[in-house]
Structure 1
């Protein structure tokens, strides 16, 4: 039905806003004049996903933490659910992944940017006591924060909410109840009926691409592009790499995420990598997915 992403600095009041939104939605859904579908309001948080604050101390810990959060979000997305994601959500690539998952589930989306100055966040953080971040982690999260923008589709519609102002509850409600539902992205277009052995094709193709890419990086560690072999690509394709070293664990994580989205889509209506489940089309879909996550698409 809907996915609402809460984003902001650490200790900026995101959980408070998520709780306020949840209570407001439940109130609207229980009003006598409400004649829409029966909906459940679910808040997915780091805590509910068993992601402790120490997860953000290093990238090695953070990646599986985000995977756990993303898995819970995927399970929550349904036609009878309003999902509120109460987490840091400070990386625009991760917000894009959630946006793609929402479009796969034919859910409306909205982003709420909770705005508080760093000094106010520090003040609140110091009052937390034992459940706070490490000082270095807290400052790192502020420094690395990628602010949502209404100019990009995955953050829109965007509601910017200063910490000392009342939330625009009604506007957010209208966005998730009456707003447009975006069609799936080009990497996950609709297909009415899937052919047999789709899962085998999916896993074999992504595994082959990962293995070829790792072999390429071992031979050319400074490379910024990867010429895709054909097969599995139907024709010569160029994968643009991020300006850092991509390792095995990252590729395995992204492979699992891509396959999870495709498998869920297959079970709920046959949405595939690029409209079909052939080896070549899955390869193109996976390449597009990687470039979208890495923000390297040309």
Structure 2
């Protein structure tokens, strides 16, 4: 993922197109997710959109959803937007970690005065063609909106892990294409941590399946006893046989089952998958029964 960030009229869309063409030439599949296209698509006028925080939230959410849909280890996703909120950039960073991919930030540096001059060079909406209206790149900001966006802009910093590696480029500079390519495809991806991984099941489903599996194992042991088998018993899903002493009755076994459930409720996130539950429960029974 390449996150583009900068003040209004700092050249974000220009840099996005340069990156898009560079990776296409290097035979990469590239997706360009553009705020300039998302805003008119949502039915908002550019300056009205930035004047309404609720409208901004709607489009930011749509942009993030589109990025999440496209993210993978092989392709390049370029997010062309202001991305002026550091918390939003952190959310994107976590999403990239979850895919075990890499991310970098392109900061389009510019003086505010110079950015305003470039903004004034943009054409009026009345003189735009229908196709241009579908892309806000050429629509100028009003002075009020321009100043507001500059005021609330949270500049990226290279010492923040969610903005790193950070590439700063000014209007007269050339992009460091080789460095960006290396950051994305030659660096070791950061492993996802617990906060960026989705649990395989919801808590309620996990506990339901856990209860069912442990009940089935107790039922297998009791069924074997009815057949006169009091030695080691094989249960489905476990390589280890369960060995319950002959003096243990159903009440005692269910008491141990409840202990196992209570422990698992507090530690279910550390249990990798449900298919390991039978093996873990059998080991739990064997260990605790032999203690008593």
| Aligned positions of 1:246-257 closer than 5 A | none
Instruction: Say whether 1:175 aligns with 2:164.
Output: no
Q: How does 1:124-163 map to 2 (within 5 A)?
A: 124-128=118-122, 129-130=124-125, 131-163=139-171
The change in CA–CA distance for 1:187 and 1:132 in structure 2 (over 3 A counts) is same
Q: Deviations over 1:214-273 (max 9, x none)?
A: xxxxxxxxxxxxxxxxxxxx89xxxxxxxxxxxxxxxxxxxxxxxxxxxxxxxxxxxxx9
Separation in structure 2 between the aligned mates of residue 19 and residue 115 of structure 1, nearest angstrom: 17
Contact kept, 8 Å, 1:55 with 1:65, in 2: the verdict is no
1:46 corresponds in structure 2 to 35
Secondary structure at 2:196 match in 1: coil
Residue in 1 that maps onto 2:77: 83
Rounded Cα–Cα distance in structure 2 between residues aligned with 1:26 and 1:104: 25
Instruction: Tell whether 2:100 aligns with 1:111.
Output: no
Counterparts of 1:274 and 1:58, CA distance in 2:
40
Q: Matches of 1:188 and 1:168 in 2, distance apart?
A: 29
* In structure 2, C-alpha distance between the alignment counterparts of 1:5 and 1:162, rounded to whole Å: 16
Divergent runs of 4+, >4 A: 199-202, 273-277
Tell me if 1:164 matches 2:162.
no
Offset from partner CA, 1:70-123 (integer Å, 9 cap, x none) = 111111112332001100001000000111111111111100101111111111
d(CA) in 1 for partners of 2:3 and 2:172?
A: 20
3-state secondary structure, aligned to 2:148: helix
Question: Taking structure 1 as reference, are residues 183 and 48 closer, same or farther at Cα in structure 2, changes over 3 Å only?
Answer: farther
Rounded to whole Å, the distance in 2 between the matches of 1:143 and 1:61 is: 19
Q: TM-score, normalised by structure 1?
A: 0.60
Deviation (angstroms), 1:48: 3.8
* Residue segments in structure 2 that go unaligned for 5+ positions in a row: 126-138, 207-264, 273-292
Give the total of aligned pairs: 195
RMSD of the TM alignment (CA)?
Answer: 2.6
TM-score with structure 2 setting the length: 0.61
**Partners of 1:170 and 1:87 in 2: CA distance:** 23
Question: How far apart, CA to CA, are the structure 1 residues paired with 2:185 and 2:167?
Answer: 15
Say whether the 8 Å CA contact 2:97–2:196 is kept in structure 1: no
Distance in 1 separating the partners of 2:75 and 2:189: 15
Is the Cα–Cα contact under 8 Å of residues 10 and 138 in structure 1 kept in the other structure?
A: yes
1:74 is paired with a residue whose SS is helix
After superposition, the Cα gap between the structure-2 partners of 1:184 and 1:126, relative to the gap in structure 1 and judged at 3 Å, is same
Q: 1:161 to 1:201 in 2, by over 3 A?
A: farther
Mark the structure with the bigger radius of gyration: 2
1:219 maps to none
Give the helix-richer structure, 1 or 2: 2
Quote how far apart the aligned CAs of 1:274 are: 5.8
- Cα distance change of structure 1 residues 201 and 147 upon mapping to structure 2, 3 Å threshold: farther
The corresponding residue for 1:92 is 86
Greater strand share, 1 or 2?
1
CA offset at residue 199 of structure 1?
A: 8.2
Cα distance in 1 for partners of 2:81, 2:3 equals 8
